[in-house]
């Protein structure tokens, strides 16, 4: 009897199963009512009394050992199915490659996120526009060169239908349809009749900002833009505002940031100046407020507009604008780790 127990113990220690079915077969063979171990329990009756204690102990140990081994193997199978072993059996054997977000979308989303943290909401307008929303409402004089075919894609002249040349057109849309306070951010695609080269394209992207309320000042504008520059390019970023001209703002300014490549010391990228231009801005011209039906004696506001390609170039040093629209995956895949 003792020999038989020892032999079975060896077999139990060598238990192995390739799958749940094999494991169940082992359990039946050894532990079921008519299994090997249960049979030994039946034979136990014939063991001489003086050996009963010792043999009984061995027999119990054998049974426990067999049960433990079966449980152990069962758990291992279950873990494997749950993927705890690093193997996920539910995974596809033919994984689908994940796409990546376009760099312009990544940067546009970042700009929107930054301004949404100070209360700006997104507003959108059509890419196919009319002269009034793109030019007249924004105080462009009738003879302004932007109204020329050479700069603007006209679809028809009568009635005037054209592709917007800037997202400032969304300003006129929002101001004519909403009451102040207005605090909007308008991202979108714009079109200009430019020869395509590494530094110019016939379409590109802008983000426009507009804030109209009582007592809005140039200091508010500067503060909002400083906050944006630091969030976008890092806490150490400095800004400077240079006087400029836009028909729809008075006063107008262009904003530079300290060159994010050399930290302002001067390098080939900033042409040794330590500064790079990133946007246009200003206080909304009272003529624009009035044209859009907002009382300029009660309300004032600021506006700014920036090119998404420009900001993306500053962040990622893309040297050729055409890469943004060629859809070459070797280019696009480089933005995998960005969000
Ligand atoms: N619309 C201008 C452009 O396309 C950018 C711009 C400048 C927008 C100044 C503004 C602004 O709102 O205040 O070049």
Domain spans of the chain?
2-81, 103-335
What is the predicted pLDDT for the residue at 223? Answer: 98
The reply to whether ligand 1 has any atom less than 6 angstroms from the CB of 285 is: no
What is the predicted pLDDT for the residue at 84? Answer: 61
Alpha-helical runs (H) found in the chain: 2-13, 20-31, 36-43, 49-82, 103-116, 131-134, 169-177, 218-233, 286-291, 308-316, 323-326, 329-332
pLDDT tens digits, one per residue of 199-229: 899 999 999 999 999 999 999 999 999 999 9
Instruction: Supply the mean pLDDT for the chain.
Output: 91
Axis crossing angle, helix 308-316 with helix 218-233, rounded to the nearest 10: 40
The reply to whether ligand 1 has any atom less than 6 angstroms from the CB of 211 is: no
With the most atoms of ligand 1 within 8 angstroms of its CB, the residue from 129, 138, 168 to mutate is 168
pLDDT tens digits, one per residue of 64-75: 998 898 888 888
CATH class of 103-335: alpha beta
Residue 234, C-beta contacts closer than 8 angstroms, at least 6 positions apart: 260
**How many angstroms separate the alpha carbon of residue 184 from the centre of ligand 1?**
14
With a pLDDT cut of 90, the percent of the chain lying above it is 60
pLDDT tens digits, one per residue of 303-333: 999 999 999 999 998 889 999 999 999 999 8
Residue 144, C-beta contacts closer than 8 angstroms, at least 6 positions apart: 135, 247
Kindly report the pTM of this predicted structure.
0.73
Q: Assess contact for 152 and 163: CB atoms under 8 A.
A: yes
Closest by CA position to 104, among listed 301, 269, 326: 326
């Amino acid at each position: 009897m003792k020999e038989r127990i020892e032999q079975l113990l060896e077999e139990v220690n060598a238990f192995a199963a390739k799958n749940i079915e094999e494991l169940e077969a082992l359990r039946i063979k050894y532990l079921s009512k008519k299994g090997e171990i249960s049979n030994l329990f039946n034979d136990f009756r014939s063991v001489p009394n003086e050996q009963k204690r010792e043999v009984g102990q061995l027999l119990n140990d054998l049974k426990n050992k067999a049960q433990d081994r079966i449980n152990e193997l069962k758990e291992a199978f279950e873990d494997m199915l749950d993927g705890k072993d690093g193997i996920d059996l539910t995974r596809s054997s033919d994984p689908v490659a994940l796409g990546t977000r376009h760099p312009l979308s990544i940067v546009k989303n970042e700009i929107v996120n930054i301004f949404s943290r100070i209360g700006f909401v997104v507003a959108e307008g059509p890419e196919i526009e009319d002269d009034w929303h793109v030019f007249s409402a924004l105080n462009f004089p009738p003879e302004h060169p932007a109204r020329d075919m050479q700069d603007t894609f006209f679809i028809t002249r009568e009635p005037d239908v054209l592709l917007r040349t800037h997202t400032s057109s969304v300003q006129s849309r929002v101001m004519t349809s909403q009451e102040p306070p207005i605090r909007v951010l308008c991202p979108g695609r714009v079109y200009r009749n430019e020869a395509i080269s590494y530094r110019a394209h016939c379409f590109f992207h802008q983000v426009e900002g507009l804030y109209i309320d009582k007592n809005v000042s140039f200091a508010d504008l500067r503060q909002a833009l400083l906050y944006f520059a630091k969030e976008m390019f890092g806490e150490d970023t400095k800004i400077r505002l240079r006087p400029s001209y836009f028909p729809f703002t008075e006063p107008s300014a262009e904003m530079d940031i300290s060159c994010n490549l050399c930290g302002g010391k001067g390098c080939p990228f900033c042409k040794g100046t330590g500064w790079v231009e990133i946007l246009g801005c200003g206080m909304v011209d009272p003529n624009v407020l009035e044209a859009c039906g907002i009382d300029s004696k009660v309300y004032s506001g600021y506006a700014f507009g920036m090119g998404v390609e420009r900001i993306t170039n500053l962040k990622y040093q893309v040297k050729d604008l055409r890469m943004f629209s060629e859809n070459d995956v070797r280019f696009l895949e480089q933005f995998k780790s960005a969000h």
